[in-house]
Chains A and B, each alone.
Chain A
């Protein structure tokens, strides 16, 4: 079945540091890939997405590239701010399959 694996553990970094959160996936077909962000006390918001290989999703300074050869969709941001502190979820879905498979999420804490 489809699954998503995110790197273990929270991520703590200083303001203006470079952020990378790793995400790899297993899928039987050609999935769409997503990053969702959950700010404290809120629901999940779609951050960015990519629907086919080599597509790059980007939003709010975050980027992720759909790499079919490495089955990865790593999230990056060049210079984080305190306001980026949140939980980030990688997810995938295959067209025709209503199930969205989520990774376990990574807590990101940005220190001033």
Chain B
């Protein structure tokens, strides 16, 4: 199936740990994104890569580091996890320009305890 897939779907971890979330798309899109959704469902963009180049880097703690080994993959690494990092993280992709909308992954629910 053509899709945006992210793993894991659920992640429960202790404060201070380092964790990664992986994302892959097989839609042939050039641009990929990471969004954070808080408990009130508010969506906030974190990062965007266009063909492996970082093009959007919102004000997020530098404990969050994206990595794009190729245009089909965008991973998110989080160091020294904090309670406030608990949220649902969505990966998405789009054709260049974004005017056709995004295709979203199913999300990773991160719980920091």
Question: What is A's interface to B at a CB cutoff of 8 Å?
Answer: 32, 34, 36, 38, 42-46, 49, 51, 87, 89, 91, 93-100, 102, 104-105, 107
Contact = CB atoms under 8 A, between A and B. Distances in A.
B50 A43 contact: no
Given A43-B90, A44-B90, A104 B97 contact: no
A96 B54 CA distance: 15
From DSSP, what is the main secondary structure of chain A's interface residues?
A: strand
A98 B97 contact: yes
Contacts of A94: 99
Interface of B: 31, 33, 40-43, 45, 48, 50, 55-56, 90, 92, 94, 96-107
Contacts of A107: 41
A92 B18 CA distance: 34
B105 to A, nearest CB: 6
A43 B107 CA distance: 6
6 contacts: A43-B104, A45-B104, A96-B97, A97-B97, A100-B101, A100-B102
A46 B101 contact: yes
Contacts of A98: 31, 33, 48, 50, 55-56, 94, 96-98
B43 A42 contact: no
Given A43-B104, A43-B105, A45-B104, A95 B97 contact: yes
